[in-house]
Each structure stands twice: as structure tokens, then as C-alpha cells.
Amino acid sequence: MASVDVIGKIEGSIQDGGWTATGAVFGDADRLAFYQEIEVWFDLYAGAWEAQPHRAFRGHLLPEAWRKTFLSSEAPFNAFTAQEFMKRGEIQGIYFRDVGSPANNHQINGMQLADIVEHILGKVGEYGHCNLVKGVWPEGIIDLDTDAANSTTVAEYEVKQGNFWGRLQEIADIEFYLLYVDKFNVLHYIPHPMFGASLPDPAITITSDLLLEPLDIEPRNTESAGQIRLQGATPAGLQISGKYPTEPTAGPIVHRAGYLATANTLMDTIAERMYKWENRDYRVTAVLPGAIGLMLDLLDRVAVTYTSSADGISWSSKKFWIDRISVELLANFTARTTLVMDAENA
């Protein structure tokens, strides 16, 4: 495994599905090889240098040109977590069915959408349709974090041939789950944690003293949806539906169709996630000094205490969730962290 000499930028995004890292290796470009695993470490300065460096990123190199010169070399690199491999791959068509006594791995007793995702990827003890999962394949590079407890039960599901990552994303969209790879190559298939029964303590509290510049505050329409109504069908052709809330609030009634499930209660749960997400009140961008973003991860919970008469807000420990992290390493051992965060609406 290669390590790096200079970090350029490390960036993670829920929408992009994972993390990227850029930088360079000096003097020994032979440390780099296409597709090899690479780790990025950094030293944190907080009044004094910490005794131990921190691991900031683990991913793989994709083919990029680098150059060597006589007696020296400079090898810029671009590395990605595992989502980029899946975005470049194809999957064949697969038909899944809930069967009490399964005869093969495409028949699953008590089948949920999370089971289908796990099978496609390859859960421990079962080969899937890619060779990325540790404990299944010797060359595996990812671990799985799938939430089956809150996943939708389905009696049958057809995965059509097409882009590997795109087909996984289609499944996630059905039950309003998130699909992303964290900076240590763990693939998560989970509902947004703001909808959980218990919420974690904030990983950090942001105040004006920590900011390099004022917060960029994007107010959102808290009446984007007065009610979410979902229409779907069971595999037997029975119509099912779900809605949230029971009675409409201010805002339009949003209708969506085409869902597959076996119970109306699951449709209600999906509608609730969609309603709360659509009606969150703010999206903010915070710019912080240093590489503090490398100590955080996507979907960390953050508290913000901030007042701005220009924006008409006065927040005391208002909660947000990190959607994007960008850390750019600058000259003279300085860095700049940008966090894009969505307000909590649990």
C-alpha cells in the first residue's frame, strides 16, 4: 500500500456517492500503480503538532498519467473510494423472489430491499455480482453497512441490466435510503440518520469564532410539501398506498407512484422520510480554517450557534447533518475546510 507525500484536496459527497483525494508522491513514483490501494495521512497542528498523524483517506488509484525524470520523479495522483469502480461497471438482469424454502441465492425468505443490495454486492458467506466485499473475495476492498431493520419488505424485484451503481441507486430511491461510501471504504445503505429513533451527540459545535467567513445560508421553503402521498402495488397486483402526515399541512400535496411493497405501513414510513426531508428549513455552507474536515465524516451531526441580523437568524445549538466535506491543503502547512450541511428535521 502506498502512502503520499503531499495532499492536494480530499472531498466527500453524499450526492457523488463517496470520496476523492488528490496529491503527489515525490522521488519514488514506483510506489504508485494503477488500481492499487492508497492511504493518505496528515499531521494536525492545533497550537502544537500532535504526536501521531491521522488517517484521512483510504481508496484506490484510477489510471492517470504521472511522470518520472532522471534521478527524481513527481507523481500526481487521483484516488477514489469504491463507488467509482461501481460507476464504471455493468450488472446483468436479475430476478429476485421471496420464497419460503429458497433454492438459490436469488430466492430469499422474508426478502427486503436491503437483502437485494447485500446479495448484489456480496455479503459475507455469499458470493454476489461484484468482487469488492472483504471476507467474500480475497481482493475485496469494502465493508458493508446495510440497515435491514428499516428496509422495505418486497415479494419480488427485478434488477434490469445496466450500470452497476445506477441500479443500486434505483433500489435506494424506492425506500428513500442513502447509498454512499465513507472515506475508509465502507459502503452504507441506510436511511438518513436524522430519522433514527435516537440521535448521536454533535461531532462538533460551530460558532462564529471558528469561521473564516460568514455562513452562507440558504433558506428553504418549509412548505415544500403539505403531504406526501405514495401509490404502489404488491406483486399480486393489489393496490397499496401511504401518506404523511395524516392530515395535510400548509403546502402542496405531492403524489408519487410506482412503489413496490407488501404493506401500507411501510409506505407510510417512506412518505414520512420524504416529507421531513423536503420540508427542512436551511442548507448552510461553513468555511473553517485548517484540516478539521478530515476529522469529520459524511452524515456527522453538527451543532451551530450563530447570529446574523442580515439573514434574520439567531441559532443556539441548531442541528445540521454534513452532506459534503472538502479539505484543501494550502501552502505553509495551512488548510481550508468547507462543510455543506442540511438542517435537521427529525
Joined grid coordinates for residue 59: 481508496
Residue 345 per-residue DSSP state: -
Q: Domain check: are 204 and 68 in the same one?
A: no
**110, 153 Cβ separation under 8 angstroms:** yes
- pLDDT score recorded for residue 1: 58
Note the helical H segments in 60-215: 83-87, 113-121, 164-174
Q: Domain check: are 94 and 187 in the same one?
A: yes
**Residue after which a domain boundary falls, among 24, 59, 80:** 80
The residue among 87, 101, 94 whose CA lies nearest residue 119 is: 94
Q: Domain check: are 297 and 339 in the same one?
A: yes
Q: How many angstroms separate the CA atoms of 180 and 320, rounded?
A: 19
Q: Domain check: are 105 and 174 in the same one?
A: yes
First to last CA, the chain: 41
Q: Domain check: are 6 and 96 in the same one?
A: no
Q: How many angstroms separate the CA atoms of 312 and 314, rounded?
A: 7
Q: Domain check: are 200 and 251 in the same one?
A: no
User: Can you give the residue range of the structural domain that contains 233?
Assistant: 227-278
**Residue after which a domain boundary falls, among 56, 80, 104:** 80
Q: How many angstroms separate the CA atoms of 262 and 152, rounded?
A: 8
- pLDDT score recorded for residue 335: 85
Q: Domain check: are 71 and 143 in the same one?
A: no
Q: Give the pLDDT means over successive 10-residue stretches in the chain (346 positions).
A: 71 96 76 78 64 79 65 77 93 92 90 93 81 87 91 87 95 92 93 92 95 94 89 75 91 81 75 91 94 91 95 95 94 85 92
- pLDDT score recorded for residue 325: 97
Q: Domain check: are 202 and 326 in the same one?
A: yes
Note the helical H segments in the chain: 83-87, 113-121, 164-174, 264-278
Domain count for the chain, please give it.
4
Regarding beta strands 94-98 and 107-108, do their DSSP bridges make them parallel or antiparallel, or are they unpaired?
parallel
Q: Domain check: are 304 and 200 in the same one?
A: yes
Question: 169: Cβ–Cβ under 8 A, 6 or more apart, which residues?
Answer: 17, 179
Residue-wise pLDDT tens digits, 18-42:
999 988 777 766 677 777 888 887 7
- pLDDT score recorded for residue 194: 94
- pLDDT score recorded for residue 14: 97
**Residue after which a domain boundary falls, among 57, 80, 103:** 80
- pLDDT score recorded for residue 268: 87
The CATH number linked to 179 is: 3.55.50
The CATH number linked to 209 is: 2.40.30.150
Q: Domain check: are 16 and 73 in the same one?
A: yes
| Strand residue runs (E) in 160-312 | 162-163, 177-181, 186-191, 204-206, 216-219, 227-233, 239-244, 253-260, 282-289, 301-308
Q: What CA–CA distances, in Å, run from 248 to 225, 251, 258, 346? A: 9, 8, 22, 18
Q: Domain check: are 98 and 184 in the same one?
A: yes
